[in-house]
Structure 1
Amino acid sequence: MNRSNIHRLYGITHSLYTGRARSYLIKNGTAFRELSSGHKSFKAEVLSESKLATIPVLVTPEGQVIRDGGAIIEHFEKSNSRRFTPSSPKQQIVSTLFDLIGTSGLLRPAMHYRWNYLDENGEFLHYHFLHSQPEHPEREAKSQYMMSKMQHAGRLFGVTEESAALVETVYIEFLDALNKHFSEYPYLLGWTPCIGDFGLIAPLYAHLGRDPAPLRIMQQRAVRVTRWVERMNRADQDALEFFNPGVSYLEDDRIPETLETVLKVLAEDLVPETQAAAEVINQWLVEHQPESGTLAQGSLGQSMYGMAQFSLRGQSISAVAQSYRFVVLQKLQQQYAQLEPAQQQDVTSLLQRCGLEALLATRLKRELGWSENQDIWL
């Protein structure tokens, strides 16, 4: 194959958000070469166009630079007849909901199981952080700095000694429920992945499905989830356990009860944190009145808008309020607004059963947009 026909994906193996984009490219059958963000070409050729030093970043054969996993996926969805976007109302909303859950709602367990189990994970993580950079005299020191920065980010996401036991309890309940769902279907909505699968693979691959400590838990307790993680990184359907598999999403816009159970577990954490984060960011918007076009995304490990305080099962948790959560939630709300009244009622009933209906009304005072590879305030 001619090299000019191959996309370049810049990321790192242990990156949560790179896993989302990588899985999509694999399932979409897109030829690509993956390069470390430490590769000399990233700073020399890509960073000026990607604007922010975050990953993943895709460079198309034509030279277009696309930063952010969601933007990379949208680039292909626009040109492939939205191959992985369900067209039926409830399934489309649930797909976007799992994209929200994967990219924002599971950051706490992802960070907890990576950074609070260093006896098991330490050598594994050191290898990957060290080898994500080229050889130079300060390589070790920079690796230690990046690991320390990520540990700090974990604390900002609400990973503390006080919250650790609760984070594990909720995660295990989620893992058990998801494992039961995957005993019936290979993907979230049936027989082919949806956008929600790609969102969910982000934390369940790089952190929870590769780091030694959480991988051990997943393999021992939730083998079907482990198989889904493997499946999401293969180009074919990879559903050999299912002897009469289908080829598409479930018929009649059906959402399995097993998936509703997963959502009920996740709702306990997702809803109060989202509501609290909205309050914090809305207060910031009132106080700062940013001009249209102002950058909305802060750097990892920084509290750009403030800390959101909320209660989970009677325990108080403090987590950084991030705007990206509302990029995906805004998309979900826009999809809901485009439905017919009867379809909206079906979606509302589903979300009510799962304890998620409050997400339809949880909004920021300003909409978010996308310009020159950056989230901006409109």
Structure 2
Amino acid sequence: MTDTHRLYAITHSLYSGRARSYLIKQGIPFQELSTGHESFKAEVLPKGKLATIPTLVTPSGDVIRDGAAIIEHFEAANGRPSQPAGPRQQIISALFDVVGTDGLLRPAMHYRWNFPQDNLDFVRYHFLYSQRDTPQREEKTEAMMNRMRHAAMIFGVTDQSRDVVENLYLEYIQALNAHFEQYPYLLGWRPCVGDFGLLAPMYAHLGRDPHPARMMQQRATRVYRWVERMNRPDQDAPEYFNAGSELLADDEVPETLLAVLRVLAEDFVPETQAAAKFINTWLAENQPEAGAPAVGRLAQAMGTAEFTVRGETIAALAQPYRFYLLQRVQDIYAQLDSADRTTVDEMLDACSMSAILNTTLDRRITRSDNLEIWA
């Protein structure tokens, strides 16, 4: 039996970048295939349940759908090599996983779809050649791209919110750039789970599409280097002349990283609170059965929640998946003793993220048979 895994993914896919980077950094052999391959529909989809990427097929034939599940599969099997040991670093790593995977969708969609003069040909190439060469390929490509263009709007990018979205993003990458002046990864000298989550929007959309990639190269060069670094198997940190090899000692979380989170908190916290309120109302009204899909196309449709950022009202899709990931942050916190909770409380207060510990859904989301479901 071969030890090579099959990763069904696409280069321009936001979520694929998270899982691909993890496999690269952990030295896990894999072959990447597009979902356009016949094997995906015939062999993988019946087990994966949803036609989403990334989806992994192990050498033994097991199918694991979703980047978080793929990473958890390897972390659990290999002694959690990307999980920090200290409580502060654990919380920060898990928090960046949520923020990256779900909290930066607005700028990711905006900078892909609202700059067609720079991006259109590049993006269209990737959509077109991710599919098999059939007579319907051109038509399917246009349909897929039109559907994704709409995503920028449903995540809250409008003519009215555009300036806020762009200003927040620029402040964020400048703060992140300042952090990477000190360290090549979020928590020191090798990546943690939070690095992989944060890479999701920062690679495929913001670090490859021509318009945002050029902006990142010009305004946040060290962030661009981190994006490159996260796709190399080695440490790739030659510009750090006194580089170490481990996460920072003594559970240190640098002030430069807290500064990044203070910028991200400006829209992540109010959006999370608004989404929780909206989804909890929806849960009370709809009472989904235990085991019903909570995430993806099999789940019941919800709607948008409104919140305010810098005086601008934004309406964005309320997504239960954010809370599936946020549960991990809250579960880590719940297991801490009182002394460790105090240090975490002080840290989250310093970066304006304290509210995320108590922003919960009235129903937990669990995972069974490759689906995220209501408990």
Using the alignment, how far apart are the partners of 1:303 and 1:317 within structure 2?
23
**CA deviation digits over 1:191-248, x for unaligned, max 9?**
0100000000000000000000000000001110010000000001011101111111
The equivalent residue for 1:183 is 181
| SS of the residue 2:32 aligns to | strand
Q: How does 1:275-354 map to 2 (within 5 A)?
A: 275-299=273-297, 304-354=301-351
Q: How does 1:6-155 map to 2 (within 5 A)?
A: 6-155=4-153
**CA deviation digits over 1:123-160, x for unaligned, max 9?**
00110000000000010010000000001112110111
Using the alignment, how far apart are the partners of 1:194 and 1:368 within structure 2?
24
**CA deviation digits over 1:58-101, x for unaligned, max 9?**
00000000000000000000011000010100000000000011
1:307, distance to aligned residue in structure 2 (A): 0.7
The equivalent residue for 1:236 is 234
**CA deviation digits over 1:317-373, x for unaligned, max 9?**
000000110011111000000011010010011111111100010000001100010
CA RMSD of aligned residues (A): 1.1
Using the alignment, how far apart are the partners of 1:180 and 1:221 within structure 2?
11
TM-score, normalization by structure 2: 0.99
**Matched AA of 2:352:** G
In structure 2, runs of 5+ residues without a counterpart are: none
Q: Which 10-residue stretch deviates more, 153-162 or 208-217?
A: 153-162
Using the alignment, how far apart are the partners of 2:62 and 2:175 within structure 1?
41
**Matched AA of 2:360:** R
Using the alignment, how far apart are the partners of 1:306 and 1:12 within structure 2?
28
Decide whether the 8 Å contact of 2:294 with 2:300 is kept in 1.
Answer: no
Answer yes or no: is 1:362 the counterpart of 2:359.
yes
Q: 1:303 to 1:117 in 2, by over 3 A?
A: farther
Count of paired positions: 375
**Matched AA of 1:208:** L
Alignment counterpart, residue 207 of structure 1, candidates 205, 208, 216: 205
Task: Extract structure 1 runs of 4+ deviating beyond 2 A.
Answer: none
Alignment counterpart, residue 369 of structure 2, candidates 352, 372, 378: 372
Decide whether the 8 Å contact of 1:303 with 1:321 is kept in 2.
Answer: no
Using the alignment, how far apart are the partners of 2:221 and 2:303 within structure 1?
38
TM-score, normalization by structure 1: 0.98
The equivalent residue for 2:154 is 156
1:299, distance to aligned residue in structure 2 (A): 3.2
Using the alignment, how far apart are the partners of 1:14 and 1:62 within structure 2?
28
